[in-house]
Chain A
Amino acid sequence: EAGVVQSPRYKIIEKKQPVAFWCNPISGHNTLYWYLQNLGQGPELLIRYENEEAVDDSQLPKDRFSAERLKGVDSTLKIQPAELGDSAVYLCASSFTGPKETQYFGPGTRLLVL
């Protein structure tokens, strides 16, 4: 069974430029998450989708970050404009909602803003 797929794996941009990350979850998983991981720290949730609905986006900096999951499968996370402090790893995870829910993570996109 294929795991969570993310692209690109690496991205280098100049500040003020836009950037987008794509995630394809594990087949059948209805819940999708975007996490931000700074160097030397644990991941922090940015947004959680259940199917097409964003049910937890309280940690998403909405002035520059946006996300969508139009058909309840793939998702895109966008930053516009990027700032130096956005340099980090952006992780996508998916799960099937329930008491025994376990989140499975993709390889992440490593972003460097110059």
Chain B
Amino acid sequence: AQKVTQAQTEISVVEKEDVTLDCVYETRDTTYYLFWYKQPPSGELVFLIRRNSFDEQNEISGRYSWNFQKSTSSFNFTITASQVVDSAVYFCALRTSGSRLTFGEGTQLTVNP
């Protein structure tokens, strides 16, 4: 069975602070894909990144960066110099064989001005 754990239910930071959202996953499959989605108050899930299990190279996209470590089954997400517009619920998700996505419970990020 697959499982995704986002231990941080809520995080509150002040604008311009860096913040890291944790994601730990469980699967017995050797081929899998990890995702991060952002859900702003409007409700739509916005795709941020996909990473496959064979590519442990970290990725940076603007203020966003992702750290994938198979040794600890973690796929953490860092926002550098956070902004108020980053306030949202962030979901980590796992896909193994087939197309079913298993989501974590989400982390509510609030960035205060």
Contacts and interface: CB of A to CB of B under 8 A. Distances in A.
Nearest to A89: B43
B43 A101 contact: no
What secondary structure prevails in chain B residues at the interface with A?
A: strand
Interface residues of B, number: 23
A97 B100 CA distance: 12
Name which of B52, B101, B104 has the most chain A CB atoms within 10 A of its CB.
B101
Interface residues of A, number: 26
B61 interface: no
B45 A105 contact: yes
Contacts of B101: 43, 45, 103
B57 interface: no
Interface string A87-114: 0010101010101111111111010000
A39 to B, nearest CB: 11
A31 interface: yes
Given A41-B105, A42-B106, 7 more contacts: A31-B99, A40-B105, A42-B103, A45-B100, A48-B100, A95-B99, A107-B42
Interface of A: 31, 33, 40-45, 48, 56, 89, 91, 93, 95, 97, 99-108, 110
